[in-house]
Structure 1
Amino acid sequence: MTTPDASSLRILIVEDNEELRSMLVEVLERMGHQVQSTDKAKDALSTMERVNIDLVLLDLKMPGVSGFGLLKLMRRRQLPVPVIVVSAHISQDVVKELAEVGIQGMLAKPFKKDRMKEEIERVRKAYLSG
């Protein structure tokens, strides 16, 4: 992992696909971010309550509590962490439901590393600046 600098974010990845989760951790750490990851909503909530997380990358389709369920729990517990949804299942109905629970960004799987970097930077500028 590289040494964090002023542009480094503390990112939590919530993704049940182990291969994708590992790849995201590796790519984001190479970009200079501090990264934690989990495949369970319960563990993600626990991490957000213990650690100051700047951004969550969240899969919607997970066993147990889904990404939607985690978003609702985050809002109920007033965890003001920006969320970028990462999903292969993004329909107009899903977009509408996501808007209702309040997300800050969206990445449709599959996506390229540059697209993820752009979305993280957009969210950083819009929600994490100053």
Structure 2
Amino acid sequence: METYSYSNITAASAAPGASGCSVLYRRSARDIPCTSSSPSRPAIATKHPYQVDLKAGKRYAWCACGHSKKQPFCDGSHKTAAPDLSPLRFQLDEAKSVWLCGCKHTKSPPYCDGTHKEEFIQKAELPGQP
């Protein structure tokens, strides 16, 4: 079983975590809080989290690049807009309502940790806005 490390979390692939979430895949260089449009850093998709109702056992792909038009989920935009970033694929063991990160700079992906309240996020220009 492979183990992936991301910021302050480490999860074994396809192994249920303490939160009832199975992390299926992760590859990213998102540790640096930056609003740059560099392809290796996420774009800030929005300055708030998304409340979503998730089903047990269903596989989800959380957008990690910030370019998806189907936020907070991946639509494949990273393939051209940010090829160095990949979505976080996960599934829950039980159905629940959760807050998924919209700013893409959380330290607990895919969940919101309040990073969107920080000044660098609040002062950032969003893609497609002047």
Aligning the two structures, in what range does the TM-score lie when normalised by the shorter sequence? under 0.3
Higher strand share: 2
TM-score by length of 2: 0.25
The structure, 1 or 2, with the larger RCO (C-alpha pairs under 8 Å, 6+ apart) is 2
**Of Structure 1 and Structure 2, which has the larger fraction of its residues in helix?**
1
Q: TM-score, normalised by structure 1?
A: 0.25
